[in-house]
Amino acid sequence: MRVLVIEDHQRLAKLIVEGLAGFGIGADTFPNAEDGLAATKSISYDALVLDLGLPDRDGLDVIQELRAKSIRTPILILTARGGIDERVEGLDRGADDYLPKPFAMKELAARLRALLRRPGGPLGTTIDIANLRPCLFGPFPVSFPSAKSTISP
Ligand code: CA
């Protein structure tokens, strides 16, 4: 499991990376939207942890841009903004969850695990080869035919 953390507060970003590592979650961190978005083009992350108050762009616009490109990576908003309206706007623009600052690292880890357990997520994917039942692989439902394989000599 690898997550992308876009957070301009360097000390907090470092704490998040170290904290998530303690829960077995690898994380890369970038201090601005431009570098973070560039990283999503080369690496397929399992989830994105996004600060809303970034130096170059508003995090809400980052969410909108990713969703407009049909990038469905789960996004968890980290925000010091207390207003319910902004949290709602973030969710409406395509974020999957939010966590207000300050937060407990174990809650961030638990929320990320919950996002990844969703159908299509890396922890929610069912691949059952033994009885060839329908399963989810990534965002696409895959149905296997109920056929028997015969191996002839
Ligand atoms: Ca910030």
What total of structural domains would you count in the chain? 2
Q: Over the stretch 53-107, which tens digit does the pLDDT of each residue have?
A: 999 999 999 999 999 999 999 999 998 876 788 889 999 999 999 999 999 999 9
Residues 102 and 39 in one domain: yes
Tell me how far the alpha carbon of residue 143 lies from the centroid of ligand 1, in angstroms: 44
Examine the domain organization and report whether 136 and 85 are in the same domain. Answer: no
For ligand 1, the distance from its centroid to the CA atom of residue 53, given in whole angstroms, is 4
Q: What percent of the chain has pLDDT over 70?
A: 77
Burial (CB < 10 A; 0-12, 13-18, 19+), residue 77, is buried
Q: Is the peptide bond before 102 cis (omega within 30 degrees of 0)?
A: yes
114/135 same-domain check: no
In this prediction, residue 135 carries a pLDDT of 47
- Is the domain of 9 the same as that of 26? yes
Are 85 and 43 in a shared domain?
yes
Residue 133 banded pLDDT, cuts 50, 70, 90 = low
Q: What is the structure's pLDDT at 121? A: 67
pLDDT of residue 147: 47
Question: What is the rounded distance in angstroms from the CA atom of residue 34 to the CA atom of residue 62?
Answer: 9
Verify that 98 and 146 share a domain, yes or no.
no
Q: Give distance in angstroms: CA of 148 to centre of ligand 1.
A: 56
User: Quick one: 61 and 132 in the same domain?
Assistant: no
Give the C-alpha separation, 92 to 64, whole Å: 10
Given a contact cutoff of 8 angstroms between Cβ atoms, the answer to whether 53 and 64 are in contact is no
Question: What residue numbers bound the domain in which 145 lies?
Answer: 126-153
The end-to-end CA distance of the chain, in Å, is 42
What average pLDDT is seen over the chain? 85
Q: Is there a single domain that holds both residue 88 and residue 14?
A: yes
Quote the ligand 1 centre to 82 CA distance (angstroms).
Answer: 13
Q: How far is the CA of 52 from the centre of ligand 1 (A)?
A: 6
The Cα–Cα gap between 80 and 103 comes to 10
Ligand 1 mean position to 35 CA, how many Å?
Answer: 15
Phi, psi values for residue 98, rounded to 5°: -145, 155
The C-alpha atoms of residue 79 and residue 101 are separated, in whole angstroms, by: 6
> Can you give the pLDDT at residue 69?
93
The Cα 29–Cα 35 span in angstroms is 9
Please give the residue that has the higher pLDDT: either 143 or 81: 81
**Per residue in 4-60, pLDDT tens?**
999 999 999 999 999 999 999 999 999 999 999 999 999 999 999 999 999 999 999
